[in-house]
């Protein structure tokens, strides 16, 4: 597909550009929630199920997990700046959706099983 200046001009002039700010807020909140709830679960008695995240945790602890999340956010930012404007919001939604699922899952696990860890 050929990228035209008019497509980009319409996107920039679009008042829905604020939607990108909202989506970035969701991405950052979901990423922070995932890290915080993962660390909270680990401090109780849970283990990390993701082998990549577990490797980072084994090597550098919580700082490794934060570093991994920051690296993922940096890749997302690179994708966001590289792809056509029409696909930017899709990238943000695609990143935030599994994060929100992880936050929900971690929250549910902690709520249901935290008392058995103590």
> How many Å apart are CA 12 and CA 17, to the nearest integer?
7
As a whole number, mean pLDDT of residues 25-46 equals 97
Question: Is the pLDDT at 17 greater than 80, yes or no?
Answer: no
As a whole number, mean pLDDT of residues 63-79 equals 98
- The label of the residue with tokens 């909140």 reads 29
Which residues does 109 contact at the CB level (< 8 Å), separation at least 6?
Answer: 41, 46
Q: What Rg value do the Cα atoms of the chain yield, rounded?
A: 18
CB 56 within 8 A of CB 87: no
The helix (run of H) or strand (run of E) holding residue 115 is helix 85-117
Domain positions in the chain: 17-117
DSSP conformation letters of 9-60: HHHHH-GGGHHHHHHHHHHHHHHHHHHHHHHHHHHHT-----HHHHHHHHHH
Confidence (pTM): 0.83
pLDDT greater at residue 84 or residue 108: 108
């Amino acid at each position: 597909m050929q990228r035209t200046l008019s497509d980009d001009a319409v996107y920039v002039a679009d008042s829905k550009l604020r939607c990108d700010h909202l989506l970035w807020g969701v991405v950052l909140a979901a990423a922070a929630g995932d890290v915080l709830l993962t660390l909270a679960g680990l401090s109780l008695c849970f283990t990390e199920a993701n082998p990549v995240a577990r490797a980072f945790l084994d090597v550098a602890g919580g700082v490794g997990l934060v570093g991994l999340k920051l690296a993922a956010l940096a890749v997302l930012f690179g994708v966001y700046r590289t792809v056509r404007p029409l696909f930017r919001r899709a990238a943000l939604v695609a990143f935030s959706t599994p994060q929100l699922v992880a936050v929900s899952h971690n929250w549910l696990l902690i709520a249901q099983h935290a008392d058995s860890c103590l």
